[in-house]
Amino acid sequence: MSSYAVRVYGDPVLKQVAHDVEHVDGSLVRLVNDMVETMYDSEGVGLAAPQVGVQKRLFVYDVGDGPQVMINPTIAEAEGEWYHDEGCLSIPGLRLGIVRPKQVHISGFDLDGKEIALEADEFLGRVFQHEVDHLDGVLMVERLEDDMRKQALRVLRDRALGLDTTAMEAKLVSADSQREV
Ligand code: NI
């Protein structure tokens, strides 16, 4: 197995819509293994293929039960609202307090072509929504309300200029904190 470099904010691949996986072969299995290794090397809890420059609809995750893969995922139902801090391996070091549906129904396939259907709420539900967004070229910044989004984009611009954004960043998060996805 080998580890990829994770693509970061500003890389155009992160804004593109990924394509469905047509079939599972040896190279897809290798991709999944390498993505899992990359996720662990980066100490993340989730990683989508576009984050390693591959425009395929799949992601890996591990919220404490070992590595899992979800191929061609679809979120069918979403219920409730939940505010929680979110991080992203492609936007290192930035945490954002974001409102998303609390519970989702997700379906997809594993590497054996077996259908997976799961209900997930709170943190796992959040991971699934964040990763499916990556497959649609959507980054977490875009899930903020207008004024918060402007502030977050300003942080990213100022950071790129080498300015200290600590004070501004503090306004973008709530108290608790989780690892990046
Ligand atoms: Ni992410």
* Token code pair at residue 100: 């998303």
Nearest Cα residue to 58 out of 5, 106, 125? 106
- Rounded alpha-carbon distances, angstroms, from residue 140 to 30, 83, 91, 131, 181: 27, 13, 9, 10, 10
For ligand 1, the distance from its centroid to the CA atom of residue 14, given in whole angstroms, is: 9
31-51 residue pLDDT tens: 999 999 999 999 999 999 999
Domains of the chain as residue ranges with CATH: 12-178 (3.90.45.10)
The sign of the dihedral angle between the CA atoms of 93, 53, 45, 172 is: positive
**Spacing, Cα 48 to ligand 1 middle (Å):** 7
Q: 36 Cβ partners below 8 Å, 6+ apart?
A: 1, 47, 60, 62, 67, 69
Distance CA 2, CA 164 (A): 34
pLDDT digits (tens, 9 = 90+) for 116-175: 999 999 999 999 999 999 999 999 999 999 989 999 999 999 998 999 998 888 888 865
Give the burial class of 25: count Cβ atoms within 10 A of its Cβ; 0-12 exposed, 13-18 middle, 19 or more buried: exposed
Q: What is the percent of the chain with per-residue pLDDT over 90, rounded to a whole number?
A: 85
More confident residue, 8 or 173: 8
Residues with CB under 5 A from ligand 1 (ion): 88, 181
149 to 12, 94, 152: CA distances (angstroms): 19, 13, 5
CA of 47 to the centre of ligand 1 (A): 7
If pLDDT is split at 50, 70 and 90, which confidence band does 177 have? low
66 Rama sector, left if φ>0, alpha if ψ -120 to 50, beta otherwise? left
Residue 86 is a catalytic residue: no
Structure-block tokens of residue 86: 């979110």
Q: Specify the pLDDT at position 175.
A: 52
Active-site option among 131, 142, 145, 169: 131
CA of residue 164 to ligand 1 center, whole Å: 23
Ligand 1: centre distance to CA 45 (Å)? 10
Question: How sure is the predictor about 23, in pLDDT bands with cuts at 50, 70 and 90?
Answer: very high
Task: Evaluate whether 125 touches 101 at the Cβ level (below 8 Å).
Answer: yes
Which among 123, 136, 158 is positioned nearest to 172, based on CA atoms? 158
Give phi and psi for 78, each to the nearest 5.
-140, 135
